[in-house]
Copies of this chain bind each other. A is one copy, B any other.
Amino acid sequence: MKKFVNDPAQFVPEFMHGIALANPDLLSYTPEFQMIVRKSGPDNAKVSVVQGSGSGHEPAHVMAVGPGMLTGACQGAVFAAPAVDSCYETIKACASDAGVLVLVNNYQGDRMAWDMATEMAVAEGINARQFWINDDVAVKDSLYTVGRRGVAGNFFVMKCCGAAADAGQSLDEVEAIAKKVNDNVRTMGVALTSCIPPAKGTPIFDIGDDEMEVGVGIHGEPGRRREKIKSADEITAELFEAVAQDIPFNSGDRVAIMVNGLGGTPITELYVIYAKAHELAEKAGYQVVRNYVGEYCTSLEMAGASLTILRLDAELEKLLDAPAETAARIF
């Protein structure tokens, strides 16, 4: 296992400690609940936006806490939903008179934990609600499963809700924004390699030297099919097709395109994908008015990428443009 780790069982608290040390003015860290909350705490005049999920998707979740984004977040073990108490304590630490919106990526473990935590918080008089994000087009919804997965589109939900909340919008309004973003965002990913959770020590799945998994989930869940690796343009065209047809997006739409790296893919390769996606979007008549190329929702060191398209309107564009400050930063 080629990783920078000490005791694998302590991997999550150790990296959270590092994030907190690196952001002393921005964040407070509560090790007991693997929870990070804005240093300034919740503001009773503003809705709090919280999230939490398994680790291994960074910068998603705790690295998205800060002004303009999340109020607080908690982490589970790598790829495992956080403990119920972590979720409950995060809601409590972010409790605000204006209410708390819990943004949950749609996975069964996460949903159950946040369901319980939200029920407990509501029972204590906290005005908390949940919203489920499910932008992944790879897996079809089904009566028998918990439904579509929440993946990189999550970033846009957090960003827009965070901006709306900080602008003083009400809980109903912020929830309506979450719904608007979720209704207008679609994603599909492809994995070229597997990845190794530190505590497991072995790859989460096996994949041949010349194979890729199209439609992979962010925990290595199988997608639509396993096939021979293709050129960047062919892969991009396949992702684009799947994503674009789902809502569907229409000619004339103003859109944001995100090319998200799954962790082990260099940014240059993401730009090769972006170039093709941009061309296809223009060919389809979309106006590409925003773009996001980099790592937003990862699977540890997995080589791979996902393509997200978000349909915009004046409201969402303004929310995307609002300033935000998180542990994920360059300067």
Interface residues of A (CB under 8 A from B): 2-6, 11, 14-19, 21-22, 55-56, 58-59, 63, 159, 192-193, 209, 212, 229, 231-233, 235-236, 263-275, 278, 291, 293-295, 298, 300-301, 303, 305, 320, 323-324, 326, 328-331
Contact = CB atoms under 8 A, between A and B. Distances in A.
- Assembly of this chain: how many copies? 2
B269 A5 contact: yes
Contacts of A16: 271
Contact of A231 (B2, B6, B59): B6
B274 A22 contact: yes
Given A6-B231, A14-B272, 6 more contacts: A18-B278, A22-B291, A264-B301, A294-B329, A326-B330, A329-B330
Contacts of A294: 328-330
A327 B231 CA distance: 25
B266 A2 contact: no
Contacts of A159: 331
Contacts of A15: 268-269, 271-272, 275
Contacts of A17: 271, 275
